[in-house]
Structure 1
Amino acid sequence: MRRYNTYSICLIFMLSISVFIIGTQYIDNIIYLTSTERWKSIKVIIKVEDGDDSYVQEIPIKFYHTVNYSATNKEDIHTITNENQSQDLTVTNNASTLTHKQTHLATDLENILDKARSDIRRQLSNYNLSYSGAHTLEDLVMESEGSPIRTLVISSWRSGSTFLGDLVNSIPSNYYHYEPLLMYGTKQIRSPNDATEALSIVKRMFKCNFEGLDEYFEFESKDLSLFSHSTRLWDYCKDDKTNDLCFNAQFISRMCKLFPFQSMKLVRLRLRLVDEILNDKELNVKVILLMRDPRGLMQSRRHRRFCELSSDCWEPSLVCADMVSDYVAARSIMQRYPGRLLVIRFEDLALKPDVTTQQILDFMRVDGRKAFDEFLKSHTNMEVAGVHSTFKVTRNIPLKWKYTLDYNYVADLQIACKEAMRLWGYKMAYNETHMMSNEFNPVEDYSISK
Structure 2
Amino acid sequence: MFLRLSKAVLFMLGVFFFMSFFYDFINVPPKPLKNKPFQARDLPKNETSVQWKPSIGEALSSTAQISSPQISNLKKFREKMILLRRSYIHLDNETLQELKEGQINEIRNTLAQELQEVANLWLQNASANPRKVLILTTWRSGSTFFGELLNQFPGSYYFFEPLIEQHVQRAATNSTQMDILEHLFNCNYQDIRYSKESKWILRHNSRLMPICKKTLGFKEEDLCLDSDFLSKVCALFPIRLMKTVRLETRNVEDLMKKLPGLKVISLIRDPRGIVASRERMPWCSRPQCSDVQHVCERYNRDVESSFEFRSKFSERFMVVRYEDMSLNLYRTVQRVSEFLDFSLSEKIISYIQNHTNLPQFRARKGHDMSLKHSHGTFRNTKSHTFEWRSTIKSEALNQTQQLCASGMNRMGYKLVPSIGVLHNPNIKLMDQIY
Give the structure 2 partner of residue 265 of structure 1. 243
Query: Are positions 1:354 and 2:336 aligned together?
Result: no
Q: How far did residue 343 of structure 1 move?
A: 0.3
- Relative distance call for 1:321 and 1:184 in structure 2 (3 A) is farther
| Correspondence for 1:284 among 232, 243, 261 | 261
Give the structure 1 partner of residue 117 of structure 2. 126
Query: Are positions 1:178 and 2:160 aligned together?
Result: yes
- Counterpart CA distance in 2 for 1:230 and 1:295 is 31
- Counterpart CA distance in 2 for 1:175 and 1:440 is 41
- Relative distance call for 1:336 and 1:405 in structure 2 (3 A) is closer
Equivalent position SS for 1:305: coil
- Relative distance call for 1:306 and 1:67 in structure 2 (3 A) is farther
- Counterpart CA distance in 1 for 2:376 and 2:344 is 22
Equivalent position SS for 1:401: helix
Equivalent position SS for 1:343: strand
Residues 130-149 of structure 1: pairs in structure 2 closer than 5 A: 130=121, 134=122, 137=124, 139-141=125-127, 146-149=128-131
Equivalent position SS for 2:35: helix
8 Å Cα contact 1:379/1:392 also seen in 2: yes
Q: 1:279-315: per-residue Cα shift (whole Å, max 9, x none)?
A: 124x51100000000111111111312211x111112
Q: Which stretch of the first structure deviates more once superposed, 158-167 or 222-231?
A: 222-231
Q: Which structure is higher in helix share?
A: 2
| Correspondence for 1:416 among 392, 395, 403 | 403
Q: How far did residue 414 of structure 1 move?
A: 1.2
- Counterpart CA distance in 2 for 1:354 and 1:409 is 32
8 Å Cα contact 1:72/1:247 also seen in 2: no
Give the structure 1 partner of residue 389 of structure 2. 402
Equivalent position SS for 2:165: helix
Q: 1:364-404: per-residue Cα shift (whole Å, max 9, x none)?
A: 11113423211111111245142211112111112111112
- Relative distance call for 1:291 and 1:174 in structure 2 (3 A) is same
Equivalent position SS for 2:209: helix
Query: Are positions 1:155 and 2:155 aligned together?
Result: no
- Counterpart CA distance in 2 for 1:341 and 1:387 is 28
| Correspondence for 1:255 among 233, 243, 267 | 233
Query: Are positions 1:200 and 2:182 aligned together?
Result: no
- Counterpart CA distance in 2 for 1:380 and 1:66 is 54
Query: Are positions 1:31 and 2:7 aligned together?
Result: no
Residues 55-70 of structure 1: pairs in structure 2 closer than 5 A: 65-66=45-46, 68=48
- Counterpart CA distance in 2 for 1:433 and 1:303 is 21
Equivalent position SS for 2:158: strand
Q: Which amino acid aligns with 1:110?
A: E
Identity of aligned residues (%): 25
8 Å Cα contact 2:158/2:204 also seen in 1: yes
- Relative distance call for 1:147 and 1:30 in structure 2 (3 A) is farther
- Counterpart CA distance in 1 for 2:175 and 2:349 is 38
Runs of 5+ unmatched residues, structure 1: 1-10, 24-28, 33-64, 75-98, 186-193
- Counterpart CA distance in 1 for 2:139 and 2:99 is 39
Q: Which amino acid aligns with 2:230?
A: I
8 Å Cα contact 1:154/1:265 also seen in 2: yes
8 Å Cα contact 1:73/1:248 also seen in 2: no
Give the structure 2 partner of residue 169 of structure 1. 151
Equivalent position SS for 1:152: strand
Q: Which amino acid aligns with 2:355?
A: H
- Counterpart CA distance in 1 for 2:31 and 2:334 is 71
Give the structure 2 partner of residue 209 of structure 1. 188
Equivalent position SS for 1:392: coil
Residues 8-27 of structure 1: pairs in structure 2 closer than 5 A: 14-18=32-36, 21-22=38-39
Residues 183-332 of structure 1: pairs in structure 2 closer than 5 A: 183=165, 197-214=176-193, 217-218=194-195, 221-240=196-215, 241-243=218-220, 244-281=222-259, 284-308=261-285, 310-332=286-308
- Counterpart CA distance in 2 for 1:351 and 1:299 is 19
Q: Which amino acid aligns with 1:66?
A: N
Give the structure 2 partner of residue 343 of structure 1. 319
- Relative distance call for 1:13 and 1:420 in structure 2 (3 A) is closer
Q: Which stretch of the first structure deviates more once superposed, 411-420 or 347-356?
A: 411-420
Q: How far did residue 347 of structure 1 move?
A: 0.4
C-alpha RMSD over aligned residues: 2.6
- Counterpart CA distance in 2 for 1:365 and 1:195 is 36
Q: 1:298-335: per-residue Cα shift (whole Å, max 9, x none)?
A: 11111312211x11111222212222212221232233
Equivalent position SS for 1:289: strand
Runs of 5+ unmatched residues, structure 2: 1-28, 53-89, 168-172, 359-367
- Counterpart CA distance in 2 for 1:368 and 1:245 is 32
8 Å Cα contact 2:153/2:348 also seen in 1: yes
- Relative distance call for 1:213 and 1:303 in structure 2 (3 A) is same
State the TM-score, normalizing by the size of structure 1.
0.72
- Counterpart CA distance in 1 for 2:390 and 2:413 is 17
- Counterpart CA distance in 1 for 2:186 and 2:431 is 39
- Relative distance call for 1:329 and 1:176 in structure 2 (3 A) is same
Give the structure 2 partner of residue 373 of structure 1. 349
Equivalent position SS for 1:124: helix
Give the structure 1 partner of residue 75 of structure 2. none
Query: Are positions 1:104 and 2:95 aligned together?
Result: yes
- Counterpart CA distance in 1 for 2:227 and 2:355 is 32
